[in-house]
Amino acid sequence: MPGVIAAGGPETAAAGAAMLEKGGNAVDAVVAAAFASFIAEIGVVHLGGSGVAHLFNPKSGASLVYDFFSNMPGLGRTKAGPLDFAEVMIDFDATTQSFYLGRASAAVPGNIAGLCQMASDYGRLPLPSLLEPALKLAREGVILTPFQAETCQLLEPLYTHTAGMREIFLKNGRMIQPGERLRVPHLTDTLTALTEEGEALARNGRLAQAILADQGANGGLLTTADLENYQVRKVQSIRLPYHDYEILLPPPSSTGGVLTAFSLKLLAQFNVGQYQHGSANHLRLLYEIMAATSRARPYWRQWHDDLPTADAIAQFLSESFVAAYAQQIQDSLNRQNASTAIPEPPGPGHTSHISVIDGDGLAVSLTNTAGESAGYVVPGTGFIPNNMLGEADLHPNGFHIRPAGQRIPTMMTPTIVLRNGQTRLVVGSGGSIRIRSAILQALSNLLDFGMTLDDAVNTARVHVEDGVLQCEAGYDAPAVAELEAMGYPVNRWQKRSIYFGGAHSVSRTENGRLVAAGDNRRGGATAAACKRI
């Protein structure tokens, strides 16, 4: 089947395109690509992580979000004792950040359950076919790209924490380098078993038993009940009009979807297309919208805690609530001075995204993360767990406080844009709280400014953090200087950076042509089936 895919690496994109060539659809493509990414993009994602996927079928007009993010572990846990939970510091050049790893940093994983469920519900090809690209990479190893090698080096304290991790990531006493072949011992056996047993492998099969035995012997929290009771959630999209388009966003557990919807409702109040892209006036409006969203976020947190989810979304996105912030923005623009932005806690930044459209217009947007990894490998499996319990930003009230079984919130925001009921754009991003600013700008660049998809994705971006406008290399220097003269705090970046996200995107143009764009900040790659991009 014809189709296009954009992903975080060439092997990932090729895996998806191969499924389209076999007659599979967009769901087959994204599932195969995701499994391949757990090897090809091992610097940012792992089999033991979790994700959120978004589907749209133009034939029926139906959309659906598959939420297979992580749950808190500990259901039925009776064993007490010391937890394997250790702090490490990561140096990001401009700053350092602490993370926690070990068995007690691992939340309930959702990847295997979610991907297998999507394939069963909507795919055309059998699971063994979808796993062929991943199995080939597991058997032969993968030549590490510069971006993946750099990410592994950045996370060296986590990726060398235990002997099992060192066996994968150390070569000749040093971290693996670009162009070197990486292999994960025993992963071939695990993936082969997955072709035979399906998602039961990670629920109560051999992999589940290995995970639980390791957790029980080494200070972990995961229990039999955690794995057996885990459910993939199928929830309805947030559907938002935006000028001549309709934007589909994921609801909670995606906090990012709700906040992105709020930002888009604000942006729709202003004629952003009247400004020159990257001008002081354009940057000023982006600053004010991002700052306003940060100020509104505490209300979302409160209402989400106190109200049913649907009621909380309705109240947060109500015309009256949005209008109050739009007026604040207009007041700041009239005064030509910066409004207040509230600091926000970041989420996991090591995230990857895959976007697919097939020849029938079926669209899938999938974002995936394992945090930074828990720093160990389950013995004999090649399975690297997540460290979603070791992210301080996801647990602002303290570690291990949330009740067992509760879904952990995420900033991941796989997004689909429609026009006249047809898929126009599929987008998403990695990058913690920068996910929504990356998506906001990619959308606006394409829909408001009429950029090509590649320009919409790869033009320099900005992000507001702690009241400062972070300006990526490539910004217009006079415009930034003018903005600063108005009193807006700015920070000029001297290079492109993964800090600003990785919005790998695919699009159906107005004349029906399918195109794809990989975000060059995060090693983006594209592939097409049956016809060239």
* Shared domain check, 308 and 451: yes
The reported pLDDT for the residue numbered 94 is 53
Q: Are residues 206 and 248 in the same domain?
A: no
Query: What CATH code is carried by the domain that includes residue 431?
Result: 3.60.20
Residue 14 has pLDDT above 60, yes or no: yes
Confidence of residue 81 (pLDDT cuts 50, 70, 90): confident
In this structure, the chain runs to a length of 533
Averaged over 234-253, what is the pLDDT?
Answer: 97
In a domain, 95, yes or no: yes
Burial 365-388 (b: 16+ CB within 10 A, else e): bbbbbbbbbbbbbbebbbbbbbbb
One domain for residues 245 and 299:
yes
pLDDT at 511 over 60: yes
Q: What pLDDT does 406 receive? A: 95
More confident residue, 346 or 245: 245
The Cα 27–Cα 468 span in angstroms is 40
295 is a domain residue? yes
Say yes or no: 81 and 223 in one domain. yes
Q: Are residues 496 and 430 both part of a single domain?
A: yes
Q: Give the domain extent around 127.
A: 42-233+369-394
For residue 532, is pLDDT > 60?
Answer: no
| The last residue of a domain, from among 326, 361, 394 | 394
Same domain, 182 and 293: no
Containing H/E element for 463? strand 462-465
pLDDT tens per residue across span 337-382: 888 887 776 555 578 999 999 999 999 999 999 998 999 999 999 9
- pLDDT tens profile 207-227: 999 999 999 999 999 999 999
When the pLDDT of each residue in the chain is averaged and rounded to a whole number, the result is: 93
Query: How many structural domains comprise the chain?
Result: 2
The answer, yes or no, to whether residue 139 has pLDDT greater than 50, is yes
CA distance linking residue 347 with residue 265, whole number of Å: 23
- Tell me the average pLDDT across 255-259: 96
Between residues 230 and 396, which one has the greater pLDDT? 230
Which tens digits make up the pLDDT trace of 15-24?
999 999 999 9
Does the residue 29 lie in any domain?
no
Q: How sure is the predictor about 95, in pLDDT bands with cuts at 50, 70 and 90?
A: low
State residue 429's pLDDT score.
Answer: 94
Q: Is residue 516 part of a domain?
A: no
- Percent of the chain residues topping a pLDDT of 70: 97
Q: 413, 119, 121, 392: which is closest to 256 by C-alpha?
A: 413
Residue 181 and residue 117 in one domain: yes
Catalytic residues: 351
Residue range 181-204, pLDDT digits in tens: 999 999 999 999 999 999 999 999
Show the CA angle centred on residue 13, arms to residues 10 and 16, nearest 5°.
150
Could you give the strand order of the β-sheet that contains 468-471, starting from the edge strand earlier in sequence? 462-465, 468-471, 490-492
Is residue 116 assigned to a domain? yes
3-class DSSP assignment, residue 468: strand
- When pLDDT is cut at 50, 70 and 90, the band that residue 533 belongs to is very low
pTM, to two decimals: 0.95
The residue-averaged pLDDT of 72-93 equals: 86
228, 246: one domain: no
The pLDDT score that the predictor gives to residue 344 is: 73
Residue 75 sits in the same domain as residue 203: yes
Structural domain includes residue 403:
no
Q: Is 523 among the domain residues? A: no
Q: Is residue 6 part of a domain?
A: no
Indicate whether 165 and 277 sit together in one domain. Answer: no
How confident is the model over 454-500, as pLDDT tens digits? Answer: 999 999 999 998 899 999 999 999 999 999 999 999 999 998 888 89
Same domain, 434 and 493: yes
Question: Do both 137 and 65 map to the same domain?
Answer: yes
Stretch 510-519: mean pLDDT: 93
